[in-house]
């Protein structure tokens, strides 16, 4: 992998072991759908894995595992529209082989991803033993302006021979979800009812549907050639093939353009998406005009999402912004979708929605607030399902699922495979009830950052109050402690899902869960006081919320149990009594011990016995809350949380964390940067490299880690700047990180779009674009208050 001038990622040489990583990192999308950056010549196999994924398009299937029926909902891999087979037909020779990157005639191979333009280019050169060559160039994009279109242009240049290139333009519906080896034993066929058509103008169409809930999906591809040539068409039971013979000679190249139109409709509706897709493909502009409109759309997007950081860190951050905007673009605002943890880039985690919006929304709040709002509305539309889940658990309020998909039901798998031992094991991660606090936190922070009181007082209030109600009902008073306790949960750590030897899953009083629950309860009370009288009365009546219940909220928010041991916050009750792990011995034996849980299980042991965390758990509190907020929150709970206690807690868990999640380095880097710790950059750098260097050992090829990517952007945007947008304006309290001495970005704040902040050592520049809004309030350390008028740039000392 080599770099370009900050905007181009280039992969030189064909390395089969690296191809899936390249495919994930070169995925192209527009917020509605995305296509992996696979080689057009290759169908799915051990090396290559083409995939196209439509946001929110899930299918539910039942699999048989060890005699047990297991149901899973998956983001569906759609028909492959990119497939293009070709071979040389020299004038004086028999037809050659179908050429692929794996051919022994391959002499050159490179892939270039242009972030500025949103374009993937592949260049290949084949040469036979007699020196006759074929240079092939592919240019692909998924249209950022029109969310239903994509295109791919292939150019052939002949060297040392003349004749024809035989080309098969394929629309392949014989696909499955086979991109994650761990899911090999699960049902993978999600498409049925295939139907194909051919239409004038080189258009081929394919429609199919999912099983449940029954999405109707139609893809139509228009194939244009230069020189123009007639097509021989072949319809199969699952796809279409259009065969062309194109003359080539030195100086006379041939071109093939595939233009995709993707349409869908819910099952049971009278709309016929196949006819619409065929029409859209037929009337789409030619490739050059489509590309120009696509590039213009990306230019507008980059203006709103601008982030400039020098050096390699800046280059990686730009890639992270690129993939975030491909997954969640302004087009997302019109959809009913959540934040897929692995983007639209692969099938890991089955395309499910976890808590990753906790790391994604802070960027969107300040750059694309309409997208952030839409993602919160996804949660609001699934509030009835969360209420029903709470009732089934014997609770009130709303209990959001750890993994969500189409319906808002709990989609967490019941069993998971340990690839080290080959055993399917019970999966208790659904006990991560803290996801509800993340949803409520996002509601509150979005409203504070954007000033969208309409959302906060409307849908947002319903979410936040129902999550608060759930926490108040889940907390049980322990008379011996004089404290309320929340039992039987799993924290962000995920390793510890039971006490050693316990018959039932779950641990008690996870500190992160309890402290964030107290925060939600306190904000619920604040919100009730803030609501206009009529809206407060309406909600209180509709939710049957009375003063007795809110008084309990206040009591629980002050008396939730937070365990301590050895002067530090305990990850959960009893954590300090677990055995210490011989970390050095395990590193010496295994090298990479990020997935310590799998290692220990394969040995016949369990991580539940040890003081060992997969990722930041207690320390997540330092990611969500500034030191003053954290101190006030602990004081509300009757505990002292000063700099000494927090530093001791951080040091304690740094020595006991295996970093088995890409989010772990991010959170540790954030926390240490705010503490001005000497190792801050080491963790920040690990977070930056997590996907581009695939530090988790092969997982990025299954899909990027969107939360970690977005979190690194937010690390610069809010972490080291101390930036918070709120009712009193823009607060900035930077901490110096010598590896990032200068950077700039734009954001939306105080009714202004395109506010630019420039950070230099000891100085801050703020430019507010000209417009009808008033001056932007700015609060700097020491409560120094300023106002920056529209159309001006002001500089301040820090």
Q: Which residue is associated with the tokens 């029954």?
A: 214
Across the strands, what pairs with 234?
241
Say if residues 9 and 322 touch (Cβ distance below 8 Å).
no
Nearest to 436 by CA among 392, 385, 366: 385
Spatial distance between the Cα atoms of 80 and 91, rounded to a whole number of angstroms:
32
CA angle centred on 303, ends 297 and 308, rounded to 5°:
130
Cis-peptide, bond into residue 213, ω within 30° of zero:
yes
Cβ-Cβ contacts under 8 Å for 153 (sequence gap 6 or more): 138, 139, 140, 255, 256, 257, 258, 287
Give the helix, strand, coil percentages of the chain, each rounded to 5. Answer: 35, 30, 35
Catalytic entry in 347, 494, 573, 686 = 494
Q: What is the end-to-end Cα distance of the chain in Å, rounded?
A: 38
**DSSP 8-state code for residue 511:** H
Cα 282 from Cα 260, distance rounded (Å): 10
Q: Which run of H or E residues covers position 626?
A: none
Round to whole Å and give the CA distance between 299 and 280. 24
SS3 40: coil
541 as an active site residue: the answer is no
Q: What is the DSSP string of 437-498?
A: HHHHHHHHHHHHHH--HHHIIIIIHHHHHHHHHHHHHH-EEETTTTEEE--SB--TT-S--B
Q: How far is residue 375's CA from residue 445's CA, in Å, rounded to a whole number?
A: 13
DSSP reduced 3-state for 93:
coil
What does 706-725 look like in DSSP terms, one character per residue?
A: HHHHHHHHHIIIIITT--EE
Token pair, residue 299, equals: 């230019």
**Three-class SS string for 533-602?**
HHHHHHHHHHCCCCHHHHHHHHHHHHHECCCEECCEECCCCCHHHCECCCHHHHHHHHCCCCCHHHHHHH
- Active-site residue set: 494
């Amino acid at each position: 992998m080599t770099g370009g001038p900050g905007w181009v990622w280039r992969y030189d040489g064909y390395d089969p072991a690296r191809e899936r990583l390249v495919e994930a990192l070169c995925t192209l999308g527009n917020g509605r759908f995305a296509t992996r950056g696979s080689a057009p010549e290759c169908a799915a196999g051990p090396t290559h894995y083409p995939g196209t994924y439509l946001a929110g398009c899930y299918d539910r299937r039942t699999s048989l595992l060890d005699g047990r029926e297991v149901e899973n909902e998956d983001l569906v891999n759609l028909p492959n529209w990119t497939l293009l087979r070709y071979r040389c037909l020299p004038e004086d020779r028999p037809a050659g082989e179908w050429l692929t990157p794996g051919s022994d005639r391959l002499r050159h191979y490179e892939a270039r991803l242009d972030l500025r333009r949103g374009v993937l280019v592949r260049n290949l050169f084949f040469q036979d033993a007699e020196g006759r060559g074929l240079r092939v160039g592919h240019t692909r994009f998924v249209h950022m302006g029109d969310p239903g279109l994509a295109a791919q242009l292939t150019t052939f240049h002949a060297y040392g021979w003349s004749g024809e290139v035989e080309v098969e333009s394929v629309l392949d519906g014989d696909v499955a979800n086979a991109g994650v080896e761990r899911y090999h034993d699960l049902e993978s066929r999600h498409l049925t009812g295939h139907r194909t058509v051919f239409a004038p103008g080189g258009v081929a169409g394919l429609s199919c549907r999912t099983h449940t809930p029954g999405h109707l999906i139609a893809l139509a591809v228009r194939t244009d050639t230069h020189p123009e040539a007639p097509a021989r068409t072949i319809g199969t039971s699952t796809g279409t093939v259009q065969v062309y013979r194109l003359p080539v000679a030195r100086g006379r190249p041939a071109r093939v353009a595939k233009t995709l139109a993707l349409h869908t409709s819910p099952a049971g509706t009278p709309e016929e998406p196949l006819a619409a897709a065929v029409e859209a493909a037929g009337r789409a502009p030619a490739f050059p005009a489509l590309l120009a409109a696509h590039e213009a759309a990306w230019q507008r997007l980059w203006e709103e999402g601008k982030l400039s950081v020098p050096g390699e860190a800046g280059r990686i951050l730009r890639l992270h912004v690129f993939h975030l905007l491909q997954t969640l673009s302004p087009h997302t605002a019109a959809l009913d979708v959540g934040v897929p943890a692995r983007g639209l880039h692969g099938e890991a985690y089955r395309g499910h929605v976890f808590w990753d919006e906790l790391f994604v929304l802070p960027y969107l709040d300040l750059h694309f607030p309409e997208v952030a709002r839409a993602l919160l509305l996804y949660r609001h539309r699934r509030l009835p399902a969360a209420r029903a889940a709470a009732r089934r658990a014997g609770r009130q309020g709303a209990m959001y699922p750890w993994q969500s998909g189409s319906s808002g039901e709990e989609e967490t798998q019941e069993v998971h495979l340990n690839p080290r031992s080959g055993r399917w094991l019970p999966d208790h991660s659904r006990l991560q009830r803290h996801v509800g606090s993340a949803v409520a936190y996002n509601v509150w922070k979005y409203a504070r950052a954007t000033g969208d009181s309409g959302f906060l007082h409307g849908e947002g209030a319903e979410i936040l109050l129902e999550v608060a109600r759930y926490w108040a009902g889940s907390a049980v008073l322990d008379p011996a402690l004089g404290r309320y306790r929340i039992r039987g949960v799993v924290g962000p750590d995920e390793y510890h899902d039971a006490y050693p030897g316990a018959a039932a899953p779950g641990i008690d009083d996870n500190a992160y869960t309890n402290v964030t629950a107290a925060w939600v309860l306190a904000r619920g009370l604040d919100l009730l006081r803030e609501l206009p009288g009529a809206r407060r009365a309406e909600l209180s009546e509709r939710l049957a919320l009375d003063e007795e219940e809110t008084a309990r909220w206040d009591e629980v928010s002050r008396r939730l149990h937070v365990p301590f041991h050895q002067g530090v916050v305990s990850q959960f009750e009893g954590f300090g009594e677990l055995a210490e792990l011989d970390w050095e011995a395990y590193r010496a034996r295994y090298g990479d011990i990020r997935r310590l849980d799998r290692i220990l299980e394969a040995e016949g042991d369990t991580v539940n016995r040890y003081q060992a965390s997969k990722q930041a758990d207690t320390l997540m509190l330092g990611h969500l809350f500034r030191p003053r907020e954290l101190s006030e929150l602990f004081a509300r709970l009757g505990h002292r949380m000063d700099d000494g206690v927090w530093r001791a807690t951080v040091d304690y868990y740094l020595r006991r964390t295996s970093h088995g999640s890409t989010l772990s380095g991010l959170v540790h880097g954030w926390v240490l940067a705010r503490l001005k710790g000497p190792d801050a950059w080491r963790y920040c750098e690990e977070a930056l490299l997590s996907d581009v260097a695939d530090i988790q050992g092969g997982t990025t090829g299954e899909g990027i880690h969107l939360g970690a990517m977005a979190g690194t952007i937010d690390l610069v945007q809010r972490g080291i700047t101390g930036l918070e947008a709120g009712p009193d304006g823009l607060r900035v309290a930077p901490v110096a990180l010598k590896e990032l001495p200068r950077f700039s970005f734009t954001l939306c704040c105080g009714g202004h779009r395109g506010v630019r902040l420039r950070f230099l050592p000891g100085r801050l520049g703020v430019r507010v674009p000209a417009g009808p809004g008033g001056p932007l309030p700015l609060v700097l350390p020491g409560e120094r208050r300023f106002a920056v008028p529209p159309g001006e740039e002001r500089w301040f000392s820090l």
